[in-house]
């Protein structure tokens, strides 16, 4: 009987201690979240409030390297989007202690990076309230980008918490559009007695060509997915401008492809002009050689990019 009483007392004390520790951790996390939407963590905080039980809340952590000496521009861009997501959750009417957002900087928690065998930043991980993180708890940054809306969908998949992303008002787009319309209207007014340029086929051809180059280079994909400009490995310092997968791309990669396509187009235009122009034969030869050189050089570079991304394609 005495043994049974000891067991019951032990279980009761364990349950009481469990609830006390859990209450203290939740209270502390709520206090930190009330001050900053993204809780900054070092190694001690990570081990105590994320790794160590008890814990009945999920934590979404961004592992980053924001110190200036790291020169991680992508980390700063991802941090801005992560802050937007965390603020949208913190100041929403549906905010609870079910999910918290936190960040671990490499210079403040390098031991955490070593513990998780992490060698790149930024990286987003979800630590569920029960069990260990699975493969799907690692956010596919290179595929989905770091836009707050994409992160919110991932958080909803992992936690069933729906976050409506609310961004601060940005008047740059409307102001730029208004300025552009004002410039076009001003030019049309100044040349109101001579509007032949509106019927110039070269003007419309150049405008259409610019639009096609922008669309074929992947600008719309960037607008939808919000990928990073480039990727820098914080351990080696190596910067990658071309994504190694056919399922994603960097913004810098889009600019490079746009430049190469424009150079190839210029080469084709020079070849056409060399064949149909009425200028002397010497200039036509120069145009022909320049056109061939542009097409061969930049098309080969363009193929090398696609060969690096589409490894299984039989390039000949």
pLDDT tens for 219-247 read: 777 776 677 777 776 666 678 888 777 77
Q: Which one has a higher pLDDT value, 118 or 12?
A: 118
For residue 91, give Cα distances in angstroms to 32, 34, 41, 86, 301.
Answer: 14, 10, 21, 9, 49
Is pLDDT at 38 greater than 90 in this prediction? yes
Tokens 């552009």 identify what position?
180
Same domain (yes/no): 173, 105 = no
Is 27 domain-assigned?
yes
Same domain (yes/no): 20, 55 = yes
Is pLDDT at 12 greater than 70 in this prediction? no
- Which tens digit of pLDDT belongs to each residue from 146-178? 888 899 999 999 998 899 988 877 677 788 889
User: What is the domain count for the chain?
Assistant: 3
Q: Which tokens sit at 151?
A: 């992160």
Is 314 domain-assigned?
no
Average pLDDT over residues 82-101: 91
Same domain (yes/no): 21, 39 = yes
Same domain (yes/no): 148, 34 = yes
Same domain (yes/no): 34, 93 = yes
Same domain (yes/no): 248, 287 = yes
Average pLDDT over residues 243-259: 83
Same domain (yes/no): 173, 221 = no
Same domain (yes/no): 13, 123 = yes
What pLDDT is stored for residue 68 in this prediction?
Answer: 81
At 247, give phi and psi (nearest 5°): -95, 0
Range of the domain at 178: 169-193
Same domain (yes/no): 29, 115 = yes
Is pLDDT at 315 greater than 60 in this prediction? no
Same domain (yes/no): 146, 15 = yes
Question: Does the pTM of the predicted model rise above 0.75?
Answer: no
CATH code of the domain containing 28: 3.40.30.10
Cβ-contact 271, 289 below 8 angstroms: no
pLDDT averaged over every residue in the chain:
84
**What is the percent of the chain where pLDDT is above 70?**
90
What pLDDT is stored for residue 9 in this prediction?
Answer: 66
Same domain (yes/no): 151, 231 = no
Same domain (yes/no): 218, 137 = no
């Amino acid at each position: 009987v005495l043994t049974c009483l000891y067991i019951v007392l032990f279980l009761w004390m364990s349950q009481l201690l469990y609830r006390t520790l859990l209450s203290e951790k939740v209270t502390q996390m709520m206090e930190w979240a009330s001050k900053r939407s993204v809780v900054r963590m070092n190694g001690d905080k990570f081990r105590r409030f994320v790794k160590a039980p008890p814990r009945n809340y999920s934590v979404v952590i961004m592992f980053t390297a924001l110190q200036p000496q790291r020169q991680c521009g992508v980390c700063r861009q991802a941090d801005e989007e992560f802050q937007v997501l965390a603020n949208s959750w913190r100041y929403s009417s549906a905010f609870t202690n079910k999910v918290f957002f936190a960040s671990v900087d490499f210079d403040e928690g390098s031991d955490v990076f070593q513990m998780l065998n992490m060698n790149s930043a930024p990286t987003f991980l979800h630590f569920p309230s029960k069990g260990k993180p699975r493969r799907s708890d690692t956010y596919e940054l290179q595929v989905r980008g770091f836009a707050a809306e994409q992160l919110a969908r991932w958080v909803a998949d992992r936690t069933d918490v729906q976050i409506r992303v609310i961004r601060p008002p940005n008047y740059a787009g409307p102001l730029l559009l208004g300025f552009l319309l004002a410039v076009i209207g001003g030019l049309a007014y100044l040349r109101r007695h001579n509007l032949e340029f509106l019927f110039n086929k070269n003007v419309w051809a150049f405008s259409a060509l610019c639009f096609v180059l922008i669309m074929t280079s992947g600008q719309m994909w960037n607008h939808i997915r919000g990928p990073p400009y480039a990727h820098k490995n914080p351990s080696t310092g190596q910067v990658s401008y071309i994504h190694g997968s056919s399922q994603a791309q960097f913004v810098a990669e889009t600019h490079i492809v746009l430049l190469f396509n424009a150079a190839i187009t210029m080469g084709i235009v020079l070849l056409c002009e060399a064949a149909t122009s009425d200028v002397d034969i010497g200039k036509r030869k120069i145009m022909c050689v320049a056109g061939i050189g542009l097409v061969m050089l930049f098309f080969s570079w363009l193929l090398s990019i696609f060969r690096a991304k589409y490894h299984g394609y039989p390039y000949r």
